[in-house]
Structure formats: structure tokens, C-alpha cells
A and B are shown apart, each in its own frame.
Chain A
Amino acid sequence: MSTNGAAPIISVRGFEAAYRGDVVLRDVDFEVRRGEVFVILGGSGCGKSTLLKHMIGLFEPAAGVILIEGRDIAKSHGAERRAILARIGVMYQLGALFGSLNLLENVRLPLEEFTTLPPDAMNRIARMKLEIVGLADYTGHMPAQISGGMQKRAAIARAMALDPPILFLDEPSAGLDPITSAGLDDLIRQLSRTLGITFVVVTHELASIFAIADRVIMLEKTEKTIIATGTPAELRDHGTHPFVRKFFHRESEGD
């Protein structure tokens, strides 16, 4: 999907993250354009998930701003905060489905809490969200009864319950076999193409990056900031930073 020239839906400016005074990330600046699949890339422990958690408002930045559709999520409170949260959906690394609810009830939960739809309507909409992620035949299953890949897809369905224009996915391919992982990549592309959803995906799976990403930023843990930006092919072919080259050519740190 070509998105050049589209207005930014998320802006991160002068962002800095710190835990107990220790700076984890600094001078992070980037923009996510409407409708693109934007991937945050990096090795283990480089702060990818930390950045994501700041972007969805779980933590407050030590410095800088994160704007979701022009609104500062960290400084928002009350109704404004809820309005911003209604525009985003999040899939956590392990799915974070509620174990006491079946899949249909998991997806129906946001509809029950935030809409006044009649029960039949909520069931129909929840079922459609599960159908679109390929789980139409598993509506009555409990999360513990389905595989890890299915749990992640159900978590995407739940994140889409209220049709937010932005979805954040934390490590969607982690712990999945290549076939299931490729299926999930196809789903992300399909949702991006057909529904125009903007995806912000944290991952370190090379195959996934080439399958889904329109643009990529790469974080690095010693420099604690973005070391490269571009399309996956640009980073692979023209990446100048040693870590980028090692990452894309699968070399170990000792090489």
C-alpha cells in the first residue's frame, strides 16, 4: 500500500523513556501515516515494547510528546483520554484474552461496555470480527482450549471490536510456527488493505517484516534510539549501521 504523502495519524516527537532514572530510549522522532503498516524493529531488550506501551498510554514519556490523531495521549484525562482510547486497539504479546470468557464473550466485552447495542447485534458483530480472523467456528471455545496462534487472532478480533482505525500489535509472530506466522501476516495485510486500518507492529521476525511492513524504524539498545528508517528493502540493501547489516543478514553480535 503506497502511503506517501498521507497525513500522519501518529506523531512521536523528541520522545524519551526512562525507568527509575535510567534512560531507555532518547531522541525518538517518527510519524506513522494513515493506512500504513508501520513496524518497530530491533533486537531483544532495545525498548520496542517500551515504546509501544508509551504509544498506547500505559506509561508517560520522560520527555517529548506522542500524538494520536493530533491529541497528546500522555497529557489526556477523563473523556478526552477515553476518546483517544476508542480510536486504538491493542493486541498484547500473549493475547491477554480473558480466561473466564469464551471467544465470543471476549470480543463482545468492549461492545457490552461501550455501546448500547442489543444483545443480538453484539453477538452478530462479535461473531463477524471472529470470522474475519478465521475463527468463526470457535466462538464457543475458551482461550485455554485453542492454540497460541488462534489466541493471537482472537486478540486481534477483540482489539477490532469497536472498529478502531489504529491497531497496535506487540510481537504478533512470537512463538508461532512459520505457517501460522505467515497466516497472521496475511491477515494484517488483508485488514490493512480492505479496512484501511493503520497498524503499528512491534516485531523482530525478519520474514514478517518483509511480508507486512510499509515502513520500518529500527531501535538499538546501546544507542538507545532509532538507528535506521525506511522500507525493509532499503534497510536490507542500503543500511549503513553495523547492527542493521547484522540484523538483516542474520549475523551474530560476535561476527
Chain B
Amino acid sequence: MPMEPETTARIHIEAAPGGAAKVTVEGELSVATLPALWAELDRSAKASPGPVVVDCSRLARCDLSGVGLLLEIDSRYPGGATFEGASEELRGLIGLFDRERARRPDPAARETVEPLPHQVGKATVRIIEDLRGEVAFVGELASALGAAAARPGTVRWKDALRVAERAGVDALPIVLLVGFLMGLIMAFQGAVAMKQFGAEIFIANLTALAILRELGPLMTAIVFAGRSASAFAAEIGTMKVNDEVNALKTMGLEPVSFLAVPRVVAGTLAAPLLAVFANLAGLFGGLVVMLSLRFPAVTFWNQVMDTVTMKDLLSGLFKAVVFGFTVSAVGCLRGLQTALGSTAVGVSTTRAVVTSILFIVLLDGLFAVVFYILDI
């Protein structure tokens, strides 16, 4: 909606005898004509201690925004303004506003930067509150999962299956693609280095170990965080904004048991299954590179079987279980922490993905150390 000036308006500012100024406004004051008048006011208005007289007798029309200009003139001169020749209608419009308030700057309009200590303090409090929320959620979830394990019939299995389908089956194509490409890229990069030593045959060993122990579960978890943690947070967050979570509470239902448990159960079961498919796709990627280097498939198979033990496979799948649990729980936690307003859901979704990936990386590091110590 461009505000094309349909009519003209003019402002004339002159110093009157005794230091007081006289301002004449004429024509039509509206948002269409105001920019030019405001610029002229900025240019020509000189500080004057005395009252300013605004001649409104030649104003053809003045809407609410036009009154804004008159109030601006009033607030720029310490002595205030008197509006001469103003119609009764214009006086009525000016009278709608508190001129004292108009003279004060609006706190909301000030673009202030908070001092650094305030920002640090607020961030610290936020982090502590966040941690408290997380600890409380872990407790609630553990208790709800304990209750669910004791009485499996109370779990909403229909919801859990629906979530497992969306988070698991529907994620299969992207998990297969990512797994295949990971295997392919790893084998190909390995081939470049190993070729120098004539050790291309060990590409199979490298790919199989890396995929089964590390990359299969890790990439599955990252895809899971991007697809499902965000979905859980957005879904539960929207329910929170729409008072659906409060509705559950007033029905006597625990939001954690009702919303988080089915999602966490589904996520914990779906993630290792997805990791199995990611592993297979990754091995297939390695096989494709081996075939391209003219090794027969049986060689690849023998190398893999010689290198990989059940321990490697199971340790990777165990990681996938933990990742699945963590990512689902984080998604639900962020959803339940959603504040009010439409932007809050977006914030929760982002936080769900970021926190999930952070936890995945931390847990993966922890697993590396623990598995090394336990010689797994």
C-alpha cells in the first residue's frame, strides 16, 4: 500500500519577535503528506524557549496521524504550542491525547542495549532455571516410565504406534539415503589414502567398523533429532499454547505420562531399528566402492565378517537406543517448556533440535571413553 501523496501540504516555520516561533501548516495532514513535513520540521525547527504558535487556519484536513505532527511541534518547544485557527473538530482530536505524555519519550521506542553484567546475570538465571526444569522433567519421566513398566496396559500404545510409524517408518528413506552416502563417502575417501599403500582391500574393514560402531547410530540420531525431536516439540508446544496441556491437567491426566511416555517409548524402539537400516545402507555404500575398484562382492563380505564382531554391532545399536531415548525426551521436554505466543513454538522447536544434537555429541564422546575402558 504505497502512500502516494494525493494532495499537498506545507509547513512554514519562522522566528517571531521575542524568540518565539510561528509555525504555519496548510493543506492536508495525513500519512501520505507527513514525511515531507516531518523532514522540514527536523530541518527548520530552531530551539525557542517561548511558546510556539501554530497557525492551523489553512488546514484543509487533518487525520489522526496529522495530529501526531501537531503534537510533535508541541513537544519540541519547551513552552508548548497554541493552536490558532483550529477547527472545533481538530481541537477535539488534539484533546484526545495527553500532551504531557506526548512530551515524554516512550520506553518501548528506545533501542537500548542492556549492560553486559545484566545480560550475563539474566543468562545465568535462565540456564539455572533451564537445568532445574530438565532435572524435574527427568524425574517425572523416570517416574512415569516406571509406572508404565509396572502396568504396561496404562501406556497409550495407539499413540506410541502412530508416533513410531511417523518417526520410524516415514524416516526410512532419508535414513537409508544418508547411511548409503556415508558408507560410500567413507569408502571412497579411504580408498584414496589406502591406494598409496596398496591396501584397498581394507576399505571393507574400515567402512564396516566405522559404520556399525559409530556412523550408523550417529547419523540415525541426527536425522531423528531433525525430524522427530522438532516434531515432538512443535506438536506438544502447540498443544501448550492452545491450552490443551492445561485441559489434560484439569482432567487429572499427567502431561508427561500422557504425551511424553508414548513418544519416548516409540522413539526408543524406533531409533535402533532405523540404525540397523542405516548400517545396512552404509555397508552397501562401501560395497559399491569396492565393486568399482574391481573387488568381488565375496571379498567384501569376507573382510567384513573377519573384522566385525557381534560386540561392534550391539555396541552401536545400544548407542542408538540411548540416542533415541534422549532425543525423544528432549523433544517432549522442549515442547512442555513452550512459553506463550506463536513465536514460542518456533523457539521450542529450535531448542529441541539444538539440545538433541548437543546431547548426541556429548553422549557419543562418553560412550567412546566408556567402551574404551571396558574394552568393548
For residue B71, which residues in chain A have a CB less than 8 angstroms away from its CB? 124, 128
Complex formed: what's the CA distance from A133 to B106 in Å? 16
Contact A121 B96 (CB under 8 A): no
Contact B35 A117 (CB under 8 A): yes
Chain A residue nearest to B89 in the complex (CB) = A194
Complex formed: what's the CA distance from A100 to B341 in Å? 8
Q: Which of A211-253 contact B (CB under 8 A)?
A: none
Contact of A104 with B68 at beta-carbon distance under 8 Å, contacts A82-B1, A99-B341, A124-B102 already known: no
Contact of A139 with B106 at beta-carbon distance under 8 Å, contacts A111-B31, A117-B34, A144-B341 already known: yes
Say yes or no: is A115 at the interface (Cβ < 8 Å to chain B): yes
> Which one of B34, B39, B101 has the highest number of Cβ atoms from chain A below 10 Å of its Cβ?
B34
Per-residue CB contact flags for chain A residues 114-147 toward chain B (1 = under 8 Å, else 0) read 1111101101110111011000100110111100
Say yes or no: is A85 at the interface (Cβ < 8 Å to chain B): yes
Say yes or no: is B177 at the interface (Cβ < 8 Å to chain A): no
> Which one of B42, B64, B340 has the highest number of Cβ atoms from chain A below 10 Å of its Cβ?
B64
Say yes or no: is B141 at the interface (Cβ < 8 Å to chain A): no
B31 in complex: contacting residue of A79, A103, A162, CB < 8 Å = A162
For residue A160, which residues in chain B have a CB less than 8 angstroms away from its CB? 64
A194 in complex: contacting residue of B3, B93, B342, CB < 8 Å = B93
Per-residue CB contact flags for chain B residues 310-353 toward chain A (1 = under 8 Å, else 0) read 00000000000000000000000000000111111000000000
Contact of A140 with B31 at beta-carbon distance under 8 Å, contacts A128-B67, A131-B97 already known: no
Contact B35 A115 (CB under 8 A): yes
Chain B residue nearest to A131 in the complex (CB) = B97
> Which one of A110, A140, A163 has the highest number of Cβ atoms from chain B below 10 Å of its Cβ?
A163
Complex formed: what's the CA distance from A86 to B2 in Å? 8
Say yes or no: is B63 at the interface (Cβ < 8 Å to chain A): yes
Per-residue CB contact flags for chain B residues 6-18 toward chain A (1 = under 8 Å, else 0) read 0000000000000
Contact B92 A194 (CB under 8 A): yes
Per-residue CB contact flags for chain B residues 228-268 toward chain A (1 = under 8 Å, else 0) read 00000000000000000000000000000000000000000
For residue A121, which residues in chain B have a CB less than 8 angstroms away from its CB? 34-35, 38, 68-69, 72
Main secondary structure of the interface of A (DSSP, over half): helix
Contact A102 B108 (CB under 8 A): yes
Say yes or no: is B109 at the interface (Cβ < 8 Å to chain A): yes
For residue A143, which residues in chain B have a CB less than 8 angstroms away from its CB? 341
For residue B98, which residues in chain A have a CB less than 8 angstroms away from its CB? 131, 136
A-B residue pair count with CB separations less than 8 angstroms = 111
B107 in complex: contacting residue of A113, A115, A117, A139, CB < 8 Å = A139
Nearest-neighbour CB distance to chain A for B283, whole angstroms, equals: 46
Per-residue CB contact flags for chain A residues 143-170 toward chain B (1 = under 8 Å, else 0) read 1110000000000000010110000000
Say yes or no: is B65 at the interface (Cβ < 8 Å to chain A): yes
Say yes or no: is A195 at the interface (Cβ < 8 Å to chain B): yes
Contact of A128 with B340 at beta-carbon distance under 8 Å, contacts A115-B3, A162-B1 already known: no
For residue B107, which residues in chain A have a CB less than 8 angstroms away from its CB? 139-140
Q: Which of B29-65 contact A (CB under 8 A)?
A: 30-32, 34-35, 38-39, 42, 63-65
Nearest-neighbour CB distance to chain B for A106, whole angstroms, equals: 11
Nearest-neighbour CB distance to chain B for A156, whole angstroms, equals: 12
Complex formed: what's the CA distance from A82 to B2 in Å? 7
Per-residue CB contact flags for chain A residues 73-88 toward chain B (1 = under 8 Å, else 0) read 0000001001101100
For residue B1, which residues in chain A have a CB less than 8 angstroms away from its CB? 82-83, 85-86, 110, 113-114, 162
Contact of A128 with B97 at beta-carbon distance under 8 Å, contacts A111-B31, A121-B68, A139-B106 already known: yes
Per-residue CB contact flags for chain A residues 34-63 toward chain B (1 = under 8 Å, else 0) read 000000000000000000000000000000
Contact of A142 with B108 at beta-carbon distance under 8 Å, contacts A86-B1, A116-B35, A124-B72 already known: no
A195 in complex: contacting residue of B2, B3, B31, B93, CB < 8 Å = B93
Chain A residue nearest to B30 in the complex (CB) = A163
For residue B108, which residues in chain A have a CB less than 8 angstroms away from its CB? 102-105, 139-140
Complex formed: what's the CA distance from A121 to B3 in Å? 15
> Which one of B34, B39, B96, B109 has the highest number of Cβ atoms from chain A below 10 Å of its Cβ?
B109
Contact A118 B38 (CB under 8 A): yes
Chain B residue nearest to A108 in the complex (CB) = B109
For residue A162, which residues in chain B have a CB less than 8 angstroms away from its CB? 1, 3, 31, 65
Q: Could you give 17 example pairs across A and B, Cβ below 8 Å?
A: A104-B106, A104-B108, A104-B109, A111-B31, A113-B1, A117-B34, A117-B38, A118-B39, A121-B35, A125-B64, A131-B96, A132-B97, A136-B101, A144-B339, A144-B340, A163-B30, A195-B64
